[in-house]
Amino acid sequence: MSSTQSLHSLAFRVMRLCRPTFHVETPLQFDPCDVVVGEDLFDGDSSSDAHRHLLRSQFASGDSSSSDLTYRNRFVLSDDSDAMGLPGLLVLPQSFGAIYLGETFCSYISINNSSNFDVRDIIIKSEIQTERQRIMLVDTSKTPVESIRAGGRYDFIVEHDVKELGAHTLVCTALYYDNDTERKYLPQYFKFMVANPLSVKTKVRVVQETTFLETCLENNTKSNLFMDQVEFEPAPRWSATILKADVHHSEKDGHTREIFKPPILIRAGGGIYNYLYSLKMSSAPTKVEGSNVLGKLQITWRTNLGEPGRLQTQQIIGNPFTRKEIDLKAVKVPSVIILERPFLVHLSLTNLTGKKLGPFRVWLALSDSKEEKTVVISGLQRMDLPAVEAFESLEFQLNLVCAKLGVQKITGITVYDTMEKNTHDPLPDLDIFVDSDL
């Protein structure tokens, strides 16, 4: 609320009108049984009729009739839950507060005529100015306000969905005739900053056929944020399901579950909450390769009395999509493997494309780590495979041997296409258990 300018009859008074809040305050109200008698008075046989009368009379005195001219209601507890200090009284916003992207800025604007004369023909304009644009909220140019009498008021309420970050200015102007014949111009400026309430970080992981999207929401505001809805809108060709932790059986209470939706609360000043979605391709992969748009997040949060805020993220990109040409699988691995005794692993290679591929060469690639491989090919270190027709499979066997006991990994079985001259991704690690001979 800015100060008046003494030359003007008119002045703007502005008050941010976000929703009111419930007043909460631990009251200093007491039950007479807790004040005028010892706490154990009602134990055992020492209770007398008089004391029980006291009990009953204090219950009866719970009504506050208008003929009761005392401030009894500030001292005596009438209902048990009065002690909660939540009478249901609403309070007007007491300060401007912080404004965040995605909220709706709402303000009461009152133009006061504090002079002794009427003012006439008032053209009122109110707009929001940001770095990028000016948005007109109110403009009475076409139908000017006829007059505001001395001591009178003209009020309006403006609303604006905040979609930009940074400095904003609410500009209020009035063009009017006062007692002099010249036209007066009153501009007033109210500045505020808009900050980003949430940071969204995403991680994409692909496990076998499913893409998992992990999103982390971080609360940058000064108050706790309650997430009303966080929905992932998948791009075409994708479908998404949200994954939630199972509820412990002791928390499943049929009666209260309808009423108590556990709030998803993200703490002020850096609290986080994670969401996990599993995404599946809903239709067969096309020939398009390259960057992979998964979709975007629509986030709705609420603050007091349901005041909503809404944001959506930019498109979330998944891992670049490359079509697999071949599928390499382990078909059979022996259940008993003895130390230093060769064993056969049966594998199959499937040609996923529509044209003949190969011939191929198979070997066990050297590992990246400095550790020596414990499982190696027994015999020739390279195997040659013939070409495979379109959509056909070829089965082959590798003769392997392991030099170490216990749980070991078969890693790095790699297939190389000798025609196309490209190396395919190796077979994912296989775990085996190597037993001793004894």
Residues 287-326 that bind other proteins (CB under 8 A): 301-308
Contacting other proteins (CB under 8 A), which of 130, 147, 196, 224? 224
Contact 401, 376 (CB under 8 A): yes
45: left (phi over 0), alpha (psi -120 to 50) or beta: alpha
Instruction: Find the part of the chain contacting other proteins (CB under 8 A) among 129-137, 220-228, 391-399, 424-432.
Output: 220-228
Q: State the CB neighbour count (10 A cutoff) for residue 106.
A: 16
CB of 200 to other proteins, least distance (A): 19
Please name the residues in contact with 301: beta carbons below 8 A apart, sequence gap of 6 or more: 102, 197, 198, 225, 226, 227, 228, 308, 309
**Shortest Cβ 230–other proteins spacing (Å):** 13
Q: Is 160 in the site for other proteins (CB under 8 A)?
A: no
DSSP, collapsed to helix, strand or coil, labels residue 83 as helix
Nearer to other proteins (CB atom), residue 306 or residue 386 = 306
Does residue 114 interact with other proteins by CB under 8 A? yes
Is 116 or 335 the residue whose CB approaches other proteins more closely?
A: 116
| Closest C-alpha to 294, from 321, 274, 323, 275 | 321
For 125, phi and psi rounded to 5 degrees? Answer: -130, 140
Residues 163-202 that bind other proteins (CB under 8 A): none
Cα–Cα distance measured from residue 374 to residue 419, given in angstroms and rounded to the nearest whole number: 31
C-alpha dihedral, 220 to 221 to 227 to 228, nearest 10°:
-130
Q: Quick one: 20 or 426, whose CB is closer to other proteins?
A: 20
| Region 19-38 residues binding other proteins, contact defined as CB under 8 A | 19-28, 30-38
Q: Which amino acid is at 340?
A: E
Q: Which of 166, 187, 263, 285 binds other proteins (CB under 8 A)?
A: 263
Size of the residue set binding other proteins (CB under 8 A): 97
User: How many whole angstroms separate alpha carbon 56 and alpha carbon 76?
Assistant: 14
Of the CA atoms within 13 Å of residue 6, those in its CB half-sphere come to 0
Is the Cβ of residue 173 or residue 223 nearer to other proteins in the bound state?
223
Task: Tell me the two tokens of residue 315.
Answer: 């498109």
For other proteins, the closer CB: 23 or 183? 23
Interface stretch with other proteins, choices 13-21, 190-198, 238-246, 283-291 (CB under 8 A): 13-21
Q: Which of 120, 125, 156, 393 binds other proteins (CB under 8 A)?
A: 156
Contact string 62-81 vs other proteins (x = CB under 8 A) = --xxxxxxxxxxxxxx-xxx
Identified binder of other proteins from the candidate list 117, 136, 138, 153, rule CB under 8 A: 153
Contact segment (CB under 8 A) with other proteins among 42-50, 131-139, 334-342, 409-417 equals: 42-50
Alpha carbon of residue 362 to chain centroid: 48
